[in-house]
Amino acid sequence: MDLNELEIREARQEEIDDCLRFRNTIFTPVSREQYEAMGNTAAVGRRGGEIWGFIPLQFRDLLISPGMTVPVVFENAVGVHESARGTGIGSAMIECAAGFIRDRVDALCVYRGGERTNGYRFYRRTHHGDLYYEQWLSWELSAAGTGKAGSGSDAVMSAPAAEAMRHEADLLRIFDLCYAGYGGSWKRRPGFFRTALASHVYGNGDWRLFTTRTGNVLEGYAIVNPLCPRHDCPNIYDLAVGSDGALASLLAGIAAEYRAAYPRVGTAFPPEHPLYRRLLASGFTFAGDNTYAMARILNADRIFARRAAGSTLLEDLALTAVTPLRDVAINSPASPQHRATLFLKESLLSRLMLARLDLTQALRMNLVRMSPLPPEVESALAAIFTFTPWVCSGIDYA
Residues 269 and 134 sit within 8 Å (Cβ to Cβ): yes
* C-alpha dihedral, 156 to 208 to 132 to 230, nearest 10°: 120
Which of the four pLDDT bands, split at 50, 70 and 90, describes residue 363? very high
Residues 182 and 139 sit within 8 Å (Cβ to Cβ): no
Looking at residue 372, what is its pLDDT?
A: 98
246-294 residue pLDDT tens: 999 999 999 999 999 999 999 999 999 999 999 999 999 999 998 789 9
193: part of which helix (H) or strand (E)? helix 192-196
Looking at residue 204, what is its pLDDT?
A: 54
Looking at residue 87, what is its pLDDT?
A: 84
Residues 220 and 228 sit within 8 Å (Cβ to Cβ): no
Domains along the chain with CATH numbers: 3-111 (3.40.630.30), 135-289 (3.40.630.30), 299-384 (3.30.1050.10)
Nearest to 74 by CA among 104, 30, 111, 129: 111
Instruction: Say whether 159 sits in a helix, a strand or coil.
Output: strand
Looking at residue 147, what is its pLDDT?
A: 43
Cα gap 244→246, rounded to integer Å = 5
Residues 307 and 175 sit within 8 Å (Cβ to Cβ): no
Instruction: Say whether 312 sits in a helix, a strand or coil.
Output: coil
Cα gap 258→181, rounded to integer Å = 33
Looking at residue 153, what is its pLDDT?
A: 47
Question: In terms of C-beta density within 10 A (0-12 exposed, 13-18 middle, 19 or more buried), how is residue 47 classed?
Answer: middle
Looking at residue 384, what is its pLDDT?
A: 98
Looking at residue 230, what is its pLDDT?
A: 64
Nearest to 96 by CA among 136, 57, 147: 57
Question: In terms of C-beta density within 10 A (0-12 exposed, 13-18 middle, 19 or more buried), how is residue 341 classed?
Answer: middle
% of the chain exceeding 90 in pLDDT: 78
Looking at residue 149, what is its pLDDT?
A: 37
Highest mean pLDDT among 106-120, 206-220, 256-270, 356-370: 356-370
Which of the four pLDDT bands, split at 50, 70 and 90, describes residue 1? low
Cα gap 171→188, rounded to integer Å = 10
Looking at residue 346, what is its pLDDT?
A: 97
Mean pLDDT value across the chain: 92
Looking at residue 111, what is its pLDDT?
A: 93
Which of the residue ranges 106-110, 208-212, 227-231 would you say has the lowest mean pLDDT? Answer: 227-231
Q: Cβ contacts of residue 366 below 8 Å, gap of 6+?
A: none
391: part of which helix (H) or strand (E)? none
- With b for 16 or more beta-carbon neighbours within 10 A and e for fewer, the 77-88 pattern comes to bbbbbeebeebe
For the four alpha carbons of 175, 219, 398 and 284, in that order, the dihedral sign comes to positive
* C-alpha dihedral, 386 to 326 to 392 to 44, nearest 10°: 160
pLDDT at 114 over 70: yes
Q: Cβ contacts of residue 294 below 8 Å, gap of 6+?
A: 109, 110, 111, 112, 123, 128, 129, 130, 131, 350
pLDDT at 202 over 70: no
Cα gap 200→255, rounded to integer Å = 27
Residues 150 and 252 sit within 8 Å (Cβ to Cβ): yes
Separation of first and last alpha carbons in the chain = 33
pLDDT: is 208 or 201 the higher one? 208
Cα gap 386→65, rounded to integer Å = 10
Give the Cβ contact number of residue 117 at 10 Å: 12
Looking at residue 283, what is its pLDDT?
A: 96
pLDDT at 152 over 80: no
Looking at residue 300, what is its pLDDT?
A: 98
Q: Number of helices (H) and strands (E), helices first, in the chain?
A: 13, 17
Cα gap 184→293, rounded to integer Å = 9
Model confidence pTM above 0.95? no
Residues 223 and 208 sit within 8 Å (Cβ to Cβ): yes
Query: Do strands 285-297 and 129-140 pair parallel, antiparallel, or not at all (unpaired)?
Result: antiparallel
Backbone angles phi, psi at 228, to 5 degrees: -60, 125
pLDDT at 148 over 60: no
Nearest to 246 by CA among 193, 282, 206, 285: 282
Cα gap 239→166, rounded to integer Å = 17
pLDDT: is 96 or 396 the higher one? 96
Nearest to 325 by CA among 298, 356, 361: 298
pLDDT: is 383 or 2 the higher one? 383
